[in-house]
Amino acid sequence: MAYDSEVAVVTGSANGIGRACAFRLAKNGFNAFLLDRDEENLRDAVREIDQVGGRAGYAVVDLTDRKAVEATFAEIVQSRGAIGVLVNNVGQSARERASEFWCSEPDLWDFMIDISLKTTLICSRQVVPGMRERKSGRIINIASEAALIGSKKATAYAAAKSGVLGFTRSLARELASFQVTVNAVAPGYTRTRALAMLPQDLVEAAISEIPLGFVGEPEDIAHAVAFFASNESRYVTGQTLLVNGGRWLN
């Protein structure tokens, strides 16, 4: 259950995993706030949440723009109140630009690190001071099984998501004495728009390695996020939960 309808911010939440997470948190009683660049789908997501009796709002923001992020989070706190939960979901694989490292381009590395790692740091920086002061809060970072498997044709993405895992563990240690937990969810192949953009041979090979025999849905990831956002996870911090059908086992 939510903590007195606290504000839960979900980044990259216009589609896919982020959207499913926002919907689930709103269903659990949180006042969900969705951040993304895709205004049309943000509006649709908020409308869906409203239709089932949840509370939600949104802001259109480029999450790689630090100053824009700072302004947006300040506005959320002013209009909605303290942020109790942050889900750092925004990120992106190389998609149609996926290739082996030897022929990848440095501009792609920069983009991967900016969108899949730096956004997590930038957004977390906005909520940590308040969580420390209140001695309460949940930060949930969406990583990827690629950080653990070492996926082919995803070197820069895997490197960025490995950074997310290291950040999760370090920040969890820093904030534990303030009763703030920091955990990560590492999805495997999940049925999103991004999956459709990957080379088909790569996807087929990966699916053949999933012991459960099927691709996950965004809601499967949202279930894990809901656990880390709840009081049921109060004794869990610094952990990474793989949600990948058993393709990689801890």
Verify whether residue 157 is a known catalytic residue: yes
Catalytic choice (58, 157, 189, 235): 157
- Would strands 240-243 and 7-11 be described as parallel, antiparallel, or unpaired? unpaired
34: tokens are: 């969705």
The set of catalytic residues is 157
